[in-house]
Structures are given as C-alpha cells and as structure tokens.
Amino acid sequence: MCGIIGYTGTDRGAIDVLMNGLSSLEYRGYDSAGVAVADSSLAVFKREGEVSALETAIPDDDIGGTAGIGHTRWSTHGPPSDTNAHPHTDCTGDVAVVHNGIIENYRTLQSELEADGHTFNSDTDTEVVPHLIETALAEGATREEAFRQAVQRLEGSYAVAAVFEGDETVYAARNESPLVLGLGDDGYYLASDVPAFIEYTDRVVYLEDGQFARVNPSGIVVTDEQGAIVETAVETISWDPEDAGKSGYDHYMLKEIHEQPTAIRKCLRERVTEMEGSITVSELADLERQGPVQFVACGTSYHAALYGARLLREQGVPAQCYLASEYDVESLPVGNETLVVGVTQSGETADTMRALRAANRVGASTLALTNVVGSSAARECDHVMYIRAGPEIGVAATKTFASQQVALAMLSQVLSPDRTPETDFIKRLRTLPDRIQRILDESNAQAIAETYVDADAYFFIGRGYNTPVALEGALKMKEITYKHAEGFAAGELKHGPLALVTEATPVFAIVTGESNAARTIGNIKEVEARGAPVVAVTDSPSDVDQYADHILEVPSSGPRCTPILSNIQLQLVSYWVANQLGRSIDKPRNLAKSVTVE
C-alpha cells in the first residue's frame, strides 16, 4: 500500500530520478518517504510526511551515485515517523531495503536476529530484511545470494528492493505485491507502478510472483526461485506522460471526472456497433459460461460489481456479488461451472487477488475486469477484460467506476443466455459519452455543495440499479470530505437509519426510471417530514420538483444506463464539498490508491 522506485544507469543521477519517481507515486497514498543512493558509501535520507519534507532533508550539494531506491510508506507496522520510514538498513549501514506488503513471520525472524546480536531501530516488519542479508553476507554469500536467501525466508506478501554500498546493482523480488521493470535508453528502472518512470521509458517487464530481478547499467536479468534465468516479454505502455498530468485542472480528481466521456468511448471502441446492433468483446471470444457467476471486489469496485450482478440476473443469469475480503470458497457453492469475476481497478487489490486465487484452486473459471494491462489479476485469471480508462491518479476512483459499469454492461450481454442483440440498450450505451459531457457542462453541483458544505452528515438513497450508486455516492463523500456519509437502499431508510435524520442531514435521493420512482418519492416524503433537506438526482424533474429542495438533473437513458449518469452528479457534489473544505482531494488521509495488503 505504498510506492517503490528504483534506478540504475550511467547518464543520469539517481537522486533526481528517485525524487521524480516518488512525486509520481504520491497518488498511491503514503505518510512518509525516503531514498537510498549507492556510491562508494550508502546515503540514506527519509522523513515523515510528504515528499516535499524529504526534499528539504537532502543536502543541496551533489549526491554521487547512479543507483538507488526510493519509497513512499503507508503505515502498517508502527506509526508514521522518520525512524519507521523506508529505506531500512542493517547494523553496518552497508545495505538498504524498501518493501511493500506485510511480512507475516517478522516477529520470529526479529527474535532470531536479536538473539544473534542484531539491533533494531524501527517498529516495522521490513527491517528484518537488511539484517537477514547482513547475516548471509557474514556467512560468505555474495550480495545476490544474500538477497535471495533473505527473501526466501519471508512469509507473506512483498515487493522488495535492495542496494549495497559500492554497487551499481539494484536487487528486487516480488510475491503478491506488484513490481514492474522499465527499460530505458539511459538506464533501467523498477517501480510499484508505471507512472513512477513513464517520463523516461514506455517499455516494461512485469515481474511474476516468485521471480527475482538483478538490475544494473548493463541490463536486467530475471530469475526464478531456483536461480534459473527466465525469458521475459517486453511490453509497451500505450499512454504518454501527459496522460498522468493535471492538464490545467486544480486536482487530478476533477480532471478524471471530466475525462469520463473519453474513457467510456475507449471502453466501447470496437466492442459496440450500433449500426449492426452488436456487442463483441474479442478478448472474451473463448469465454463459455455454463453455471452461476460470482463477483468479488472491494470498495468502489464492489459497488460496480453490485451493478453488474443485477444486470446479469435481469438477463436470467444466476449472479451474486461478494466483498472479496469475505469470500470463502469453503462455505460457498464454487465449482467447475462457476465463473468468478474479479473487479479490480489496479488488478493488484490483495483481497480480490486472494479470492481469485482461491477460486482457481477449486477449479472455477476466473475473469479479471481491470484497468491495468499486465497486472496480477490480468496475468493470473483465465480471462481478462480491460476497462480502458487510462491512468487514474486521484485516490478516489471516478472514471474507473464509470468505465467498470460500462464494461459490466457489455459483459452482461456477452454472458446472456439469449444472445439476441438489445438494440435499444446498445444505442443507449453509445450515447453515454455525449450525455455525460452534457452533465459536466450544465451541472449545478457546485452550488448545491456550497449550500450544504456545513452539514452534519449526508445520506444517499436509491432503489434497484440506483442502490450501488447511492453506496458509491456516500463512499466518495467519506473519502475526500472526511464527513460522515451513508448510502442505503431507499426502502431500508425507515428500518433504523431514519433515527439519524435531522434538519442538518441532507438526503440525496436518486429517482430515475419509472418502476421505482414512486416508491422512492415515498421515502423522500419520510425524510421531508423530519425536516431534512432533499436533493433529488433525477431524469424526471417535473415529477420530483415539488418534493425536493434541489434538483440534479440527468438525461433519461433507461433503467440500466441512467444510474451511470447519476453517479457523475454525485461525484461532482463530493468534489465541490471537499474543495470548499480545503481537503487533500487527490491524497485523502489514511487511504491508498492500490490496496495491496489484506
């Protein structure tokens, strides 16, 4: 749940590359940062707080060395502090290590090392790694052997990288935590995510679980757990550095909200043909569904999965949605005919990966619906469908949620027992980008946010396809405003939550479509009677106007597509409330973009 950057080369100073990489990884969420540069000696700098605090700790005079590692930490073991920040070193200060993930057996290893005379300075699990390396070196191992021996003693998840005094080589390994290598013209890179080095190269190699990498100015060598060299495929990233910039917007989140028309067009491109009335997802051409579908996901992706499961049930497909952290193949009917769909923006979400791996072990077919080419989910599942949203830097997901919804809408047609094209549905999917653009151009969300910025709490309600949108609307409000917010199926409001409704509790009611609108209006009347202000997100303003204090209008696009539009309005409300409050919108406290620990 943090970021790693590494570099080795001949023409570029390591410190500049490392600091640029850390700045590019800030979106992942972190509470401290540090770097280690290897030259004739090992220079280590680390600080609690933002990368800017680290910058002030680095002396202005030139720091030699063309090899180094950097890290942004999201605390799991020990609070944020200078001491707990990575990199961590051994007793001699000759080796420095950075690590993502959790080392489950670190207590046992630390006790063993302390008994042998090693001294520990931090509260972290990571610090055992440099001491294990130190021990192996003392026993006569080479640096590569010592690194390999240390890693092989670790239990848990990790992406780990190390540098040594007087060595231009960076050593790295991974297990259930992402690590990608970059091949540049003037050096070689490694990182948790491509944005860390995309300004230098677009050629990458993805490490697999159990693989080791030796990276020096001469090139990259990847080996397996036994030390045998592994042939690797070099892939080219299809987006350029400008895609990861703010493009003049105040925040990445606002930029990414406004990128949703483009993102959805990319998701639909060459898959939906309105003229022929067809949906064709070429990467799923060999996908055969025989039995039930089970979705596993977390957070925003879980809300998208709820939407997808409902779409499938409407098509006559038995489909259920599970929080990945609660998914248990031992207590669920999962078999050879089950299709388990992991919805994960990053393709690295630890809980979702655990669920998908469990499903694979019992013989289920697995499908990854993800945004990241070459991610763990994409490589390990039997099938993969990319949502094509492009890089999303803001921690709070926006365009990836909309793209997931659209991808799931297409998947529902692919998996439908009745393959007869739904011409009207296909037409509505094709019109989504233009209708989202209309919302972005005309939305009054900023004014509504200013009206209710001082509210005590926010409630979001919806029915049917709008229930996941209500849940997502509340999650966005929590994530970036730090205000209390709750989302409910509208009918559940009266079964307890109504006790919390006051005049200082705005209720955002999603009222779209014909079948459920009347009942949701009934719920609006319930909160109105308690004095709560009501904001209606609706495609029928004339039907709701008399019951609501404010209207957020969306174009009518049918019961299955209109919820995608409703979500855009709620994203804007949350953004503008957070902006009014002066929150850290792109890097909300305590949160990480890619959640790689369980």
DSSP sequence for 76-139: SSS-S-TTTSSPEE-SSS-EEEEEEEEETTHHHHHHHHHHTT----SS-STTHHHHHHHHHHHT
The answer to which of 279-288, 307-316, 319-328 has the lowest mean pLDDT is: 279-288
Catalytic residue among 266, 399, 483, 593: 593
Helix (H, G, I), strand (E, B) or coil at 359: helix
Peptide bond into 87 cis (omega under 30): yes
Q: How far apart are CA 7 and CA 168, in angstroms?
A: 9
Give the pLDDT score at 276: 65
Give the pLDDT score at 541: 80
pLDDT band at residue 149, thresholds of 50, 70 and 90? very high
Give the pLDDT score at 595: 63
Mean pLDDT comparison of 17-21, 133-137, 156-160, 548-552, highest-scoring range? 133-137
Active site residue 2: yes
Give the pLDDT score at 136: 96
Mean pLDDT of 5-17: 86
Give the pLDDT score at 193: 84
Greater confidence, 273 or 282? Answer: 282
pLDDT at 25 over 60: yes
Catalytic residue among 2, 298, 381, 561: 2
Give the pLDDT score at 583: 95
pLDDT band at residue 244, thresholds of 50, 70 and 90? low
Mean model confidence pLDDT for the chain? 90
Q: How far apart are CA 58 and CA 329, in angstroms?
A: 50
- The phi-psi region of residue 309 (left if phi > 0; otherwise alpha if psi is between -120 and 50; otherwise beta) is alpha
Q: How far apart are CA 201 and CA 188, in angstroms?
A: 9
Shortest CA distance to 307 belongs to which of 294, 317, 321, 293? 321
Give the pLDDT score at 407: 97
pLDDT at 597 over 60: no
Burial class (CB in 10 A: 0-12, 13-18, 19+), 464: buried
Q: How many helices (H) and strands (E) does the chain have?
A: 17, 26
Mean pLDDT of 496-502: 80
pLDDT band at residue 514, thresholds of 50, 70 and 90? low
Q: How far apart are CA 535 and CA 65, in angstroms?
A: 58
Helix (H, G, I), strand (E, B) or coil at 349: coil
- The phi-psi region of residue 422 (left if phi > 0; otherwise alpha if psi is between -120 and 50; otherwise beta) is beta
Q: How far apart are CA 144 and CA 131, in angstroms?
A: 15
Work out whether strand 187-191 and strand 203-206 pair parallel, antiparallel, or are unpaired: unpaired
| HSE-CB for 180 with a 13 A CA cutoff | 24
Mean pLDDT of 396-420: 91
Give the pLDDT score at 76: 78
pLDDT band at residue 594, thresholds of 50, 70 and 90? low
CA 170 vs. chain centroid, Å, equals 26
Shortest CA distance to 6 belongs to which of 216, 294, 150, 321? 216
Query: Is 53 in contact with 90 (CB distance < 8 Å)?
Result: no
Q: How far apart are CA 285 and CA 281, in angstroms?
A: 7
Q: Which domains does the chain have, with CATH numbers?
A: 3-241 (3.60.20.10), 245-439 (3.40.50.10490), 443-598 (3.40.50.10490)
pLDDT at 350 over 90: no
At which residue do the structure tokens 């509260």 appear? 123
Q: How far apart are CA 392 and CA 236, in angstroms?
A: 18
Query: Is 7 in contact with 17 (CB distance < 8 Å)?
Result: yes
Give the pLDDT score at 331: 86
The DSSP symbol for 452 reads: S
pLDDT in tens, 425-478: 888 999 999 999 999 999 999 999 999 999 999 999 999 999 999 999 999 999
In this structure, is the dihedral angle defined by the CA atoms of residues 507, 513, 517 and 519, taken in order, positive or negative?
negative
Q: How far apart are CA 450 and CA 575, in angstroms?
A: 11
pLDDT at 359 over 90: yes
Mean pLDDT of 165-178: 92
Mean pLDDT of 32-41: 90
pLDDT at 547 over 90: no
Q: How far apart are CA 572 and CA 447, in angstroms?
A: 10
Work out whether strand 88-89 and strand 95-103 pair parallel, antiparallel, or are unpaired: antiparallel
Active site residue 246: no
pLDDT at 495 over 70: yes
Shortest CA distance to 57 belongs to which of 34, 89, 40, 41? 34
Give the pLDDT score at 154: 95
Give the pLDDT score at 94: 94
Percent pLDDT > 90 in the chain is 62
pLDDT band at residue 544, thresholds of 50, 70 and 90? confident
pLDDT band at residue 222, thresholds of 50, 70 and 90? very high
pLDDT at 36 over 60: yes
The contacts of residue 117 (CB under 8 Å, 6+ apart) are: none
Mean pLDDT of 349-367: 94
Q: How far apart are CA 254 and CA 259, in angstroms?
A: 9
Greater confidence, 415 or 75? Answer: 415
The secondary structure element, H or E, covering residue 318 is none
pLDDT band at residue 50, thresholds of 50, 70 and 90? confident
